[in-house]
Amino acid sequence: MPKAPAQPRSRKPGKSSSGGGLTYAAAGVNLEAKDRFTDSLESIMRRTHGPRVISNPGGFAGLFRLDFNERLFKRNYKDPVLIACTDGCGTKVKLAAQLKKFDTIGIDLVAMNVNDLIVQGGEPLIFLDYIAVGRVDSDMLTDMVRGVAEGCRKAGCALLGGETAEMPDVYANGDFDLAGFAVGVVELKRAMNPLRVKAGDVVLGLESDGIHSNGYTLVRKVVEKAGLDLGRVYPELVPANGGRRKKKAAAAAPRTLGEVLLTPTRIYADSIVRLQRSYTVKNIISGMAHITGSGMVGNLERALHPGVDAVIDTRSWEPLPVFRFIQQHGRVAEEEMRRVFNMGIGYTLIVRPSFAESVAERLTKLGERVHRIGRVVRGSGRVIEE
């Protein structure tokens, strides 16, 4: 979300007063439009702010109070460590541009960052975005930033600022790209460490809401090659009756293929942070992984050390219909599907066996759809899908 630009706002783009020379506006960058857009965003930002955000009107950077007053807050960190990460939405932005639907891609942006951040065992504090466009379109950009703000609200972090870059020489009209930057904090003794994982630990999987934000180059190619209609409702994409998720889906209005593919990435931050606050004495979670590109194998392996393997039962959950739809229409091999996509599990936790049931119950109460998907055994740091 853009901060106030450095250029003086009294200088309006247009014809030069010095004999008709070139201007920034004539070159394709409209500073006046950017200023108007920037000024319109303050109320959207403030919806994500708590008492730790320090007002800084017109500043070139946002201010966030890291240490705080115990009389106002429940706890302080004794040995705080900052966590930072950055990510984007990949080529899902091309699909959003094609469908001219921009109100959910900002949620994806926040999710791809905060879901990585919480893997370290901490909580997200602040978020900033970078939006690059060919031309400032206030309606399109406002929808994007509203999505970013909604993602921050779901994640419990403050949208502290950002930047919009108008670059007509790089992006065609209607094209755009997004990047996000998240900062969080973790108590050092509670930071995740693969060495904690032990044989006998249980792997829990939290369902995804769809494809999330990985593999869209392949998805778009399948849509193109198979001649699929993004505006059509395909019966194969409607989940069968049965199950909590499926009953909700059946009750909702049928969605077009485009709407299904633009389903925003699920944000797990609130549930994971709340879960960890429930266990303040024992470290009952020994590892976590956000399942993105490279699938279950490529991501869960990052939570293991060379002395253990994670054995995953791929029959312990049912992939969402969208995955089989893409696989069938693209004739994509099963191995390739599992290498590229989350296949219905967007986040995993490795927990001590004696706490597996209670953790699953807590996460279910927090709104997650939880499956017991595997176990940890002695091994060499691999993930084995059965």
In this structure, the answer to whether residues 94 and 149 fall within a common structural domain is yes
* Residues 166 and 249 placed together within one structural domain of the fold: no
In a shared domain, residues 48 and 117: yes
Measured CA to CA, the distance from residue 81 to residue 66 in angstroms comes to 11
In a domain, 17, yes or no: no
Give the contacts of 204 (CB within 8 A, at least 6 positions apart).
348, 349, 350, 351, 356, 359, 360, 363, 370, 371, 372, 373
In a domain, 10, yes or no: no
Quick check: is 14 in a domain?
A: no
CATH of the domain at 119: 3.30.1330.10
The answer to whether 68 and 42 are in contact (CB under 8 A) is no
Kindly indicate the confidence band of residue 73, based on its pLDDT and cuts at 50, 70 and 90: very low
Whether 355 and 209 share a structural domain: yes
Which residues are registered as beta bridge partners of 126? 158, 183
Asked whether residue 16 is assigned to any structural domain, the reply reads no
The pTM score is 0.85
Query: What confidence tens digit (pLDDT) does each residue in 150-177 have?
Result: 999 999 999 998 899 999 999 998 899 9
pLDDT in tens, 348-358: 999 999 999 99
Q: State the Cα–Cα distance between residues 83 and 123, nearest whole angstrom.
A: 9
pLDDT tens readout for residues 22-46: 766 766 667 676 666 666 667 777 7
pLDDT digits (tens, 9 = 90+) for 293-315: 999 999 999 999 999 999 999 99
Does one domain contain both 141 and 229? Answer: no
Nearest to 75 by CA among 243, 222, 273, 346: 273
pLDDT at 370: 98
Based on the structure, what is the number of domains in the chain? Answer: 2
Q: What is the mean pLDDT of residues 179-183?
A: 96
User: Do residue 201 and residue 185 come from a single domain?
Assistant: no
User: Are both 356 and 266 inside the same structural domain?
Assistant: yes
End position of a domain, from candidates 161, 190, 219: 190
In a domain, 5, yes or no: no
Res. 185: pLDDT tops 50: yes
Q: What is the pLDDT of residues 98-115, one digit of tens each?
A: 999 999 999 999 999 999
Please indicate, yes or no, whether residues 186 and 201 belong to a single structural domain of this protein. Answer: no
In a domain, 374, yes or no: yes
Same domain, yes or no: 51 and 184? yes
**CA quadruple 6, 12, 15, 18: dihedral positive or negative?**
negative
In three-state form (DSSP H/G/I as H, E/B as E, the rest C), the secondary structure along the chain is: CCCCCCCCCCCCCCCCCCCCCCCHHHHCCCHHHHHHHHHCCHHHHHCCCCCCEECCCCCCCCEECCCCCCCCCCCCCCCEEEEEEEEECCCHHHHHHHHCCCCCHHHHHHHHHHHHHHHHCCEEEEEEEEEEECCCCHHHHHHHHHHHHHHHHHHCCEEEEEEEEECCCCCCCCCEEEEEEEEEEEEHHHCCCHHHCCCCCEEEEEECCCCCCCCHHHHHHHHHHCCCCCCCCCHHHCCCCCCHHHHHHHHCCCCCHHHHHCCCCCCCHHHHHHHHHCCCCCCCEEEEEECCCCHHHHHHHHHCCCCEEEEECCCCCCCCHHHHHHHHHHCCCHHHHHHHCCCCEEEEEEECHHHHHHHHHHHHHCCCCEEEEEEEEECCCCEEEC
- Helices 105-117 and 269-277: angle between axes, nearest 10 degrees: 30
**215 is a domain residue:** yes
235 within domain boundaries: yes
List the domain range (segments joined by +) for residue 173: 24-55+64-190
- With vertex at residue 292, the alpha carbon angle to CA 289 and CA 296, rounded to the nearest 5 degrees, is 60
At 374, list the tokens: 């595997």
